[in-house]
Each structure stands twice: as structure tokens, then as C-alpha cells.
Structure 1
Amino acid sequence: MKLSPLIPKSAFHGLERVTWLYSGAETPPLQGAAQALEAYIRNRELGPDGRAKNAEIEQSLRKRLAQLLNGRAQDIALVSNASEAITLFLQSLRLQAGDNIVLHTLEFPSGMLPVLLLQELGVELRLVPHRDWQVSGDDLFARVDARTRLVLTSHVSFVSGVRLDYRSLYARLRETQTLLLLDATQSLGAVPVDLQAADAVVCSSYKWLMSLHGLGVLALNPARLRDLRPASAGWRSVQELFHADRFATFEYHDDARRFELGFPNYPAIYTMNFSAELLLGIGIDRVEAQIERLAGYLIARLSEAGYEVMTPREPERRAGNVSFVCEQGELVAARLQGTGIYVWGGDGRLRASVHAFNDSDDIDRLIAALPAAAAAEGGSVHA
């Protein structure tokens, strides 16, 4: 099977030298990102007029993210990273002793760590174990009761690549008082994500959205969060800075900007505005279809070679991350890196991530290189 890139490799810096199956960690830099950074520098030279230009680009990005999320520009807060977005949201819930949060064992530490801190307040962590590297909405909903304030889950697991059916889960949670926080860091930019089927969505900037580090998205669905009040405040959070009574009181913005504290990372905003325009121009449905074909081809090649694949075969139950068992994943990934093939290894597995710039040749190179990489490190990639 021959699969060509949907985005040409020439659109990126460095892809002529390496095989990049690493998008679950980060994507290669786009050629257009350098031009976007240059535009930021030129606008910075303009002083006050440059700030006006920054505001225009920022609003453009909010609108494009809203398109990707099926939301509104005013529902998007721009923060430093996904971890900060999760923490800001959790703090705003003002949880009390006896409340509980439901998570699962395929969750990334950025979701787990702030919940562990909440245990000091008497908040219960209800941890749902995976079954054969998979978890379902039914598994999560089974742990929900009257004191469950939040279900926190990734859309796509960084561990196994399984894609959660969050829409059906949210339909059930809407009948309760329990909120749904969806981490789309491993999905936004690769497959459709719907803010209307969650209470909040968070995402980082440098993976499937193909921007730089240092920007996080916190998207709020106002259906159940219209009165959600942050536990912090900064000059970007409030409607008016220099009113006469500013040393006594303030008013938050009435949209998602109330979660923003100070200036955001404008270089990352400029580059994400470019990459979001690129993805929207292609169409996220076409990107998803390309990723589904590539991931299906990768799973088939791995299975034929005898590797134990952790990622579901069904297209609707996966996205761009494909994981398979590898006892010494870090060592094998390092060996592959030395041959110019970038994958992620650790926790007893290797993860190869396919995006719209990948092709079947990338996958064939990985399959051909795996046996030698495992043997050279004394590792084991086993079925």
C-alpha cells in the first residue's frame, strides 16, 4: 500500500533528514512558523501599533480554534500550557472534603498530579484501571455518584492510543451534576473535537496543532459553566483595570478570558494561527481520514511482523498514536533515533505517531529498522 503525505514534507524544517513518527510528543517545525515569528518581530517594532497587530492575530487564533472545537471565540482562553489549563479549571471548582474526581490509569500526569494534591483537602480520587490498555465511558460512568464533581479524561490516550467515546459519556453526565473535562492534547489537530460534548476542553500547542511550545488552550462550554468563577485573577482577567474603586473590587470578564492572567505567548500564538489556518484549509475530516489510513497500515505491518499492538484496530477507536509492547522501549527508541527514526519509548512500549505529513514509506522504514534496534540494545520487542 502506497500512502502519500497530505501535507508535503517540504512544508517542514528537517524532514528531509529524518523519519518523524513523534507527533504524540511534538511535531516538526513548519516552514511557515518561521515566517510567522518574523511577522511577530516586525510587529513588535511598531510599539503601540504592534500591540494592536498582536490583538488581531490573537483574535484570529481564537476564531480558528473555535472552528476546530465547534465553539465560539469567546469560549477560548489562552494560557501557558495544558497543565496550567487543567489546574486553573480544577481550582475554580473549589472542591471540598467528600467530593470525588474520576480518572483512569491511561491518563497523562498533567491530569493526575493536581488531583493528587486535592487529596490533601479530603477530595477522593477514583481511579479506573484500564483493561487490556483500553478504557470506556461505561467504565468511567460506573464510578460516578452524587459526590462526583468531575470526570477528567484524555480524548486519546498517550499510553495506548485508544480514543474515548466522550460524546456518549457526556450525554449521560448531562443527566447528573458531574462535569466532564476533556484533555484533547493528543487529538486536537488530528481528529474532530466537539466542545459541545464536554464542559471544558484543554490542549497544548506543540503536538497535533503543530505550533511552538508555551501555549495552552482552555475552552469552556457555557451550557453548565456560565457562572464558573476562577480562583485567581490578573489584569487580563478583568473588564476594567483603572476604575476609581480598583483597590476595593473588580469584575471578571463574562467570557473565557476571565481565566487569563497576563500576556500570553505571542510567538506561539502567531505560529498556531498559521498552523490552525493550514489544518482548517485542508479540513480536519481529511486529516482524520489520512491519519486513520496511516495508523491502520502501521497496525497491520506491526501485527504481520509479530508485535503485540496495544492500540485498537477499529478506526473510530484510535487516532494518530499507535503503541506496541516493547520491554526496553526507551533504549530501543534511542537506538532508532540514532538511525534517524523518531518514536517515543517508555513504560514497556514504543509509540509511533502518524500525522498528515507522514506516508507509508515512513512506516516501512520503522518496520525494517525495529529488529536491529532491539537487538543492538539487548532489548526485546515481543509478541
Structure 2
Amino acid sequence: MDLAQAQELWNPEPGWLNTASYGLPPRPAWDALQQALGEWQVGRTSWEGWNAATDRSRTAFARLVGVPVADVCVGAGVSQLLAPIAAALPAGTTVLAPEEEFTSNLFPWLVHGDRGVRVRTVPAARLVESIDASTDLVAFSLVQSATGAVAEYEAVVAAARDHGALVVVDATQGCGWLPFDAGLADAVVVGAYKWLMAPRGAAFGYLAPALRDRLTPLAAGWYAGDDPHGSYYGPPLRLAADARRFDLSPAWFSFVGAAPALELIAEIGLPAIHAHNVNLANSFLTGLGQPPGNSAIVTVDVPDAQQRLAAAGIRAAVRAGHLRASFHLYTTPTDITQALTALT
């Protein structure tokens, strides 16, 4: 399916420039969720069919980020997926992170300060040059939430490897429009309700085997079992050998909506989505007399921007004092024209 065909699967109200806050579901995801909710309402079926969407989602995510499906765990949110990594850090560990990092990738490290885990922050633009012999783990976002700045992913990884440091990436604001190889990092976590356009409550984590073997699955339950359906009751402990031992019991309906959305992204292809999103973002920047960039998320300073956009029915966001606009599959040139008219 090409991008033009795929765009027929959305019918958004004009002016949605806020996917960095939440994504809009394609029709197959919406329809699957409505069907499941209807089944739940009247007790028409058992839950196993809803649960099957979890493995479909896991497989589609692994394909999108280029890693083996056995290395992917599922959960509910970014900080929950990071928690076992943070808990495994020994006292005296130094974590390096951008000072403007979204706190779901800061608080999991900071809460271990009382046992000697130190978090050092620097401006995101100086992250690569700040990695040194004292750095044990580098935690950063692939794309910054507040600014849309795209990290120098491969350069960060290379610098970290030079100093023997782990690399942990929050790809929530990039996965779904920005092609990248998750396998370069030690861990990659993604909240799926933004650019992957899933219901909130679905999240994915890539855990490299070498890191995974150092971690304790602190939230292990029946779904982390080697055979989940044989793990309902009683000892002994019998966890999955792969990343599934870090699974949370899934929020069924979140994954029912996630599976069709992720499969559609994979069918369209990230290169086409990336080109579409960045081209629209750059059209917006050019219309405001700004230089083009390389991100689907842009921030601008325009007096009374949020009020002017709201008056025109355009929905965007304000982050760190700047207007933040974000552009995805369902964004159209008409959305850009309307936004620019309101702002200029």
C-alpha cells in the first residue's frame, strides 16, 4: 500500500498538528477496537482473541526497528520498561542524559540516587562530546519531545562503545516516522500512543540479550511465564527464556488497537512516512521564514501562536515556552496552509 492509498484510512478534523502528544488511529485500528469493545460489553467471547493482538504487535514492532522478536518485551509505559535496568545499576554508576530529556527517561535513574547512582545532565547538542571514561550509561531520546531535535544516534552509540558505556534510548517521539536500527543500542523503549498511533497503554522495549541477562524481571507475573497459559497457579518460578520474561500482562484493548496500526506502518514503509512528515514540517518552517530541518516535530516562536492557531481550529501544543507542531501520515498541505494563514 502506498502512502496516498493509506491516507484514505483516516478522516481527521482539519488542523491536527499534535501527533507528538497523541496519534490518530487508522480505520483498521479503530474498527478492531470497536469490535473488541462490543464483544466485551455483552460477553460475546473469551479474552484469548484480544490477547493474540499482543503478539501481532510485538512482531510488527520488531520488524519496524530491525530486531529479533525474541528480544522484544511489552508493557504499559516507558518508565516501567526502564525500571529493571535502573534497578540493576550498581552503586557508583554514572548516567549521562540530556538536561532537557523527558522525565520518563530521567526519573527511573534519579530515584536511585539514594543508593549512589549519579545522573549527570548536559545539553542534548553536547551529548556526544560529553561521553567520557566516567560514563557508565547514556540515556537519551531519539527525538526530543520539547524541541523535535533528532539525536546523533550512531555517534552517541560509537562514543559510548569507546568508553564501555551502555546505551538506552527512548524512541517514543521517533518510532513510526524515523527509520533507525534499534539493535545498535542496549535497550530501546517506545510508548506506542504517539507516532505508532496505538491506544495509550501499549509500550514496547528492545532488550539486547547481553543486557537482559543482567536484569531481574521485578514485575514478573503469569504473562512472563515460559508458557503463560501454564503459569496461572503455583510454584515453581518458570519464566520465559527471552525478553518475554519482562512482559507485563497486557492491557488487551490497547494492543487490539496497536496491532493494525503497527502493521499498517510497516506496510507503507518508514522511508515514505519519513519523507512525507519532514517535507510537511519543512513547508511549515519555510512559510514562517525559518530554515528547514530534519524532524517531523518543529518548534517556533510566534507571538500569541497558540491563541491564533486555536482561533483557526488548529490544534498544536506549547512546550518549554515554544509552539510545537508535529506532522504525520494524515497531515495534509491544507493543514499547513491553514496554520500559516493563522500565524502570518
Q: TM-score, normalised by structure 2?
A: 0.88
The reply on whether 1:86 has 2:86 as its aligned counterpart is no
The 5 Å alignment of 1:108-127 reads 108-127=102-121
The 5 Å alignment of 1:215-364 reads 215-239=202-226, 246-247=234-235, 249-261=236-248, 263-303=249-289, 313-314=292-293, 318-326=294-302, 332-364=305-337
Q: How many equivalent residue pairs?
A: 338
Deviation at 1:68, TM superposition (A): 0.3
Deviations 1:177-216 (A, max 9, x none): 3211111100000111212111111111111001111111
Deviation at 1:357, TM superposition (A): 1.6
Deviation at 1:119, TM superposition (A): 1.4
For residue 202 of structure 1, give the secondary structure of its aligned residue in structure 2.
strand
Rate the CA distance shift 1:172–1:347 in 2: closer, same or farther, 3 A. closer
Rate the CA distance shift 1:365–1:42 in 2: closer, same or farther, 3 A. closer
The 5 Å alignment of 1:41-120 reads 41=37, 45=43, 47-48=45-46, 50-51=47-48, 53-91=49-87, 93-96=88-91, 98-120=92-114
Alignment check: 8 A CA contact 1:89 1:230 kept: no
Report the residue type matching 1:187 in the other structure: G
Name the CA distance, whole Å, in 2 between partners of 1:347 and 1:169: 25
Name the CA distance, whole Å, in 2 between partners of 1:341 and 1:84: 33
Alignment check: 8 A CA contact 1:75 1:222 kept: yes
Name the CA distance, whole Å, in 2 between partners of 1:160 and 1:364: 22
The 5 Å alignment of 1:127-146 reads 127-130=121-124, 135-139=125-129, 142-146=130-134
The reply on whether 1:164 has 2:151 as its aligned counterpart is yes
Identity %: 26
2:186 equivalent in structure 1: 199
Name the CA distance, whole Å, in 1 between partners of 2:168 and 2:334: 37
Question: Which runs of 5 or more structure 2 residues have no equivalent in the other structure?
Answer: none
Report the residue type matching 2:314 in the other structure: I
Report the residue type matching 1:73 in the other structure: V
Name the CA distance, whole Å, in 2 between partners of 1:88 and 1:223: 14
1:376 equivalent in structure 2: none
**2:168 pairs with one of 164, 181, 193:** 181
1:381 equivalent in structure 2: none
Deviation at 1:295, TM superposition (A): 1.8
Deviation at 1:149, TM superposition (A): 2.9
Q: Greater shift after overlay, 221-230 or 160-169? A: 221-230
Alignment check: 8 A CA contact 2:198 2:261 kept: yes
Q: TM-score, normalised by structure 1?
A: 0.80
Alignment root-mean-square deviation, CA:
2.6
Deviation at 1:79, TM superposition (A): 0.5
Alignment check: 8 A CA contact 2:131 2:160 kept: no
Name the CA distance, whole Å, in 2 between partners of 1:129 and 1:337: 32
Deviation at 1:156, TM superposition (A): 0.5
Name the CA distance, whole Å, in 1 between partners of 2:199 and 2:128: 36
Name the CA distance, whole Å, in 1 between partners of 2:210 and 2:33: 36
Deviation at 1:56, TM superposition (A): 3.1
Deviation at 1:46, TM superposition (A): 5.8
For residue 159 of structure 1, give the secondary structure of its aligned residue in structure 2.
coil
For residue 341 of structure 1, give the secondary structure of its aligned residue in structure 2.
coil
Rate the CA distance shift 1:84–1:36 in 2: closer, same or farther, 3 A. same
Rate the CA distance shift 1:326–1:234 in 2: closer, same or farther, 3 A. farther
For residue 189 of structure 2, give the secondary structure of its aligned residue in structure 1.
strand
1:375 equivalent in structure 2: none
Deviation at 1:9, TM superposition (A): 5.4
Alignment check: 8 A CA contact 1:22 1:352 kept: yes
1:35 equivalent in structure 2: 31
Question: Which runs of 5 or more structure 1 residues have no equivalent in the other structure?
Answer: 372-383
Deviations 1:276-318 (A, max 9, x none): 11111111111111112112212211226xxxx7xxx34xxx3
Rate the CA distance shift 1:31–1:72 in 2: closer, same or farther, 3 A. same
Deviation at 1:99, TM superposition (A): 1.4
For residue 157 of structure 1, give the secondary structure of its aligned residue in structure 2.
coil
Rate the CA distance shift 1:8–1:278 in 2: closer, same or farther, 3 A. closer
Alignment check: 8 A CA contact 1:7 1:357 kept: no
Name the CA distance, whole Å, in 2 between partners of 1:216 and 1:199: 17
